[in-house]
Structures are given as structure tokens and as C-alpha cells.
Structure 1
Amino acid sequence: MRAALLQIAVRPDETVTARRTRAAALVREQHAADLVILPELWTVGAFSFDAFHDHAEPLDGPTAHAMSRAAASARVWLHAGSIIERGPDGTLYNTSLVFAPDGAPQRRYRKIHRFGFDRGEAALLARGEETVTVALGDGGPTAGLATCYDLRFPEQFRALVDAGAEMFLVPAGWPAARRAHWSLLARARAVESQAYVLACGTAGTHAGVEQAGHSVVVDPWGEVVAEAGSGEETLVVDLDPALVTRTRADFPTLRDRVLGVPAPR
């Protein structure tokens, strides 16, 4: 399986419409890939809180339409990063969208862990309620969906493993100030779950917050397969989904999990 992570910048001098057009063109160029991933909130910027309301859109809005057409043009599975979704009742969510190679929408995931400690995203957006997986084609690997800050919460990834996940797709708008955590947590989630982690971040700045970039692909042993730099970049990597099965058979730590460990007295 060939995956392409599109580490794009959210440029302050670029309109949302222009960036949407540019991202769609980048997706269409990835016709040699099987899977393409975009970052979190690349339409507006993960820290551009003042723009969230004005640029919120429904699940069938302009970003979904553009990404559906791009996926169909390239014939790829597309994780289109996330958008600010305006739900039917007006509630806002940080929502990821996944499209099949024919352009059909397959899954949507509303981010469960919102960053901000009662400010920013945590104050403006509602929390998602469900973990989500998607099978990438007949006989293809099962991917678990998570977004940015979710990476700090291993319980979510354990739930995804229990639901059959063999890889995790993690779009992000991770700040440069905590880039060391980004790399460490991506490797930790891979090792403890014996799964691939494909973590796609943004370049540039969001509302003055410098982004970490350094999109990364980690294999089930925790080895970094490929890593981007800090600027705009397309990271292309070939994966072996069977490595997950072999790793879990050769070193069966998941079998030894003890659930329901009693609390200390």
C-alpha cells in the first residue's frame, strides 16, 4: 500500500476557497497512491478560532464536494483531514471526512478530545461521541480515525484496536512548541497497539501559532518509516499491511492485556 501525506501550509494571504482548490489539485496528483491524507482543519487553521463560525460547513458542503471529486479523479482512498462542521442544529464539530476511490463518502469522525483547557477549540466546538474505523477496500487494512490532541489519550487507540484497527490515520495542527511530544506520542501509539501510525500535520502558522510539520509514518515496531521536514511537503511511503499481523503474532503483547485491573486500595 502506498500512502501520501500532504503536509500543506495554511497561508494567511490565501483564501479558504483558493486553499481548497490547491488541496484538491494536490490530491489529484497522487494517482500512484492508494491512500492520501490531509491535515486537521487545513481550510481555516487549527488555531484560527475567530474564523471557525464563519467557515463552518455541513457534511455535504464545498470541502466535501471538492474532496469527493478529487478522490474520484485520483482513484484513491482519501482522508480529507478535518473541517469545522456545522451540524443540523447549528452545533460545531471538528470533523474528519473519509472518501472511497469512487468519491463516495465512507466515514465521518467528530474529534473526541478538544484542545484548549476550556478555551479555543474546547470552548467553541462540541465533543464527538464515537470512535470510528474504516476498512480501506475489500481485503484492505482497517484504519482507526483520530485527530491531533486525541494522540495524547491511549484509551481511544485501545478501543480502536479492539474494533479491528491495524493502522491509525491522524490529521493534526500540532504546534512547533511541542513537536517532541508529537514524535514521541506517534511512536508510543504504534508500539503499544502494534499498528501503523500515519500522522499528517500542517506547515506554516495558524493565527500566529507556528506549526510543527514533521508528518510521520511509524511502523508496528515503533520505527519511523518516513518523516517530513517543517515546510510544505508531500511525504510518500510504501507500507506492508501484513507487517501488523506478523508483529502481533511474533510478539503477542496484546494477548496479555489484563482488562478491568482493580483500583488500588
Structure 2
Amino acid sequence: MREVTLGMIQLEPKLGDVPYNRTHSIELIRHAAAKGAQIIVLPETSLTGWDAMEYSREAWYEMAEDLDGESVTQFRILAKELGVYLVVGMALRTNQPPVMENAMVFIDDEGNLGEVYDKNYLFGPEKEYFTAHDRFPVYDTRYGKVGLLCCYDANFPETSRLLTLKGAELILHCASWRREDEDVWHLMLPVRAADNVVFFASANTFGQAKHRYTFGRSKVINPRGIVVAEAGMAAEEVLVSTIDLDQVSAWRKEMLYLDDLNPALFKQLDEEMKA
């Protein structure tokens, strides 16, 4: 068995209050670690909150941070202290202000930074704030191979499929998913797990921003698309769930979706998109 315990933090960020969100996130990370979590995930833009209608590009850029900023530095120290992997959704500055990356920062259990993942599919007004780079890194951990997706990325099946083909056994998904699309959340995420025969775990924000309500319901889904753990929608929550990554290879012997893929269809899809 290759068991790993996940801690999905369903955070209620205070809009624009980076010091509070950082301090509170650290408290929740410690709580998750105390409950046995070995890989801990904070949701999308957890340090600033998410409300594009409230922020100007310049204001959001000022709240965003660099990889050597105070937040990432504290999270790296914390990861090493607790011996946990951390994935932090945050607005990351670029060298082209006021454009940012809607990033997921990966920190290993020794406090080392992995390659940054930035959201590839930008939703609506996000295109005015963020840039994307079509990068899909897969991270080697002591438990298995892990891929990352951010919110709207999961709406597109090719993102999960690409991570799977690159070896991911577990996809960690951070989000600030709005209430209007809750039906899609419950429908789509289990499908992403099942059609790639991977574990899929999502950390969503909770709370009411001025122009946006996010509903929580963070969840952990097994490779058959069955939800094995789920948070509520009425409060912050630290969702802790233990999974066995050996189930991925076991279920792939029965669910032959990857063995039966036809690569020629990928080429045909590319040709149709260019037509």
C-alpha cells in the first residue's frame, strides 16, 4: 500500500487582507498536519481572495507576491518544520506589471520549491489580470506522482488527460468556484477522476465576497469517480482523507481507458481546431 493523507483546506479568505489570510492559512495548515495530513492544499488565490470586479489590475498586483516574498518564505519554513508538502494557490507577480500568474506554488516536505504551476485556462475577466504559459509539470513526491490544476482548468478534459499521460496518479485542484456553477462542480470533477483512473482532490474557498459567493464542498475522489470525502458548504473546514495510490494501478487493470486510447484522434482534434 502507498497511503498518503491529504489535507484540503476550505478557506474563507478576507478579501484583500494578505496578512490575515497568511496567518489564518498557517493556523489551518498546522491543524491539518496535526490530524495527520502529509500533502496539504490551499485554494485558489488564498492570500488575496478572488473578486475581479473589486480589484483594479494595479491594486491586485500590489497585493500579489514574489516567490521570495514573505508568504512563500513562511510557507517553506512551515513545510520543512512539519514535514509536509504544501500547495498554495496565490497571485504571483511577473516581471511585466500589472500582469500576474494565477499560480499554484508547490513546496516539498524539505521546504524546497518545485516548478510553479500557473492556471492555463483563464475564466472571463481573469484574462485582464493574469497570463498563462501552457506548462503542466508533474511532481515526484515520496508517495507518488502529483499533478496540479487550478479551478477552470478542470473544465477542460485535456488538462487532466495530459497530466495523467505524464504520469500523475493524483491531481490536486485548487479553486474559487462560484455558487452559480455548483452543479458542474459535482458532475465534472468525478468524471475527471474516472476517465483518467486517478485520484482527484479539490480545495475550494468558502464565503461571500462583494460580487461572488463560493460554496466550499471540497472533496476527494477515487479513481472510479466515487467521492470518498467531502466538506460542507456552510463554513470553513479542513478536510482530511487518507488514500492508497496503489489503487490507481489496480483499477487500471480493470478500467482500460488509457490502454485503449487512440492517439490518432488527438492529431485529428488538432487538425479540426486549426481548420
**Given the two structures, how large is their TM-score scaled by the length of structure 2?**
0.89
What count of residue pairs does the alignment treat as equivalent? 258
Contact between 1:93 and 1:128, CA under 8 Å: does it hold in 2? no
Tell me the distance in 2 between the aligned counterparts of 1:48 and 1:71. Answer: 30
Contact between 1:171 and 1:201, CA under 8 Å: does it hold in 2? yes
Contact between 1:59 and 1:85, CA under 8 Å: does it hold in 2? yes
Q: Does 1:130 align with 2:132?
A: no
Letter in 2 for 1:146: L
Partner of 1:25: 27
Partner of 2:237: 233
Q: Does 1:88 align with 2:95?
A: yes
Instruction: State the identity %.
Output: 27
Partner of 1:101: 109
Deviations 1:205-237 (A, max 9, x none): 233311020001100001000110112001010
Segments of 5+ residues of structure 2 without an aligned counterpart are none
Q: Does 1:175 align with 2:182?
A: no
1:119-158 matches, within 5 Å, as: 120-137=125-142, 140-158=143-161
Tell me the distance in 2 between the aligned counterparts of 1:106 and 1:53. Answer: 23
Contact between 1:72 and 1:101, CA under 8 Å: does it hold in 2? yes
Partner of 1:41: 45
Please say which of residues 214-223 and 99-108 is displaced more in the overlay.
99-108
Runs of 4+ in 1 over 6 A off after TM superposition: none
Contact between 1:133 and 1:145, CA under 8 Å: does it hold in 2? yes
Letter in 1 for 2:75: M
Tell me the distance in 1 between the aligned counterparts of 2:27 and 2:110. Answer: 17
Contact between 1:10 and 1:202, CA under 8 Å: does it hold in 2? yes
Q: Secondary structure at the match of 1:252?
A: coil
Segments of 5+ residues of structure 1 without an aligned counterpart are none
Deviations 1:20-70 (A, max 9, x none): 011112212314221111100011112245142221211211221121122
Q: Does 1:159 align with 2:167?
A: no
What is the Cα-based RMSD across aligned positions, in Å?
1.7
Q: Does 1:60 align with 2:68?
A: yes
Tell me the distance in 2 between the aligned counterparts of 1:131 and 1:246. Answer: 25
Partner of 1:71: 79
Letter in 2 for 1:101: D
Partner of 2:246: 242
Partner of 1:199: 202
Tell me the distance in 1 between the aligned counterparts of 2:14 and 2:63. Answer: 15
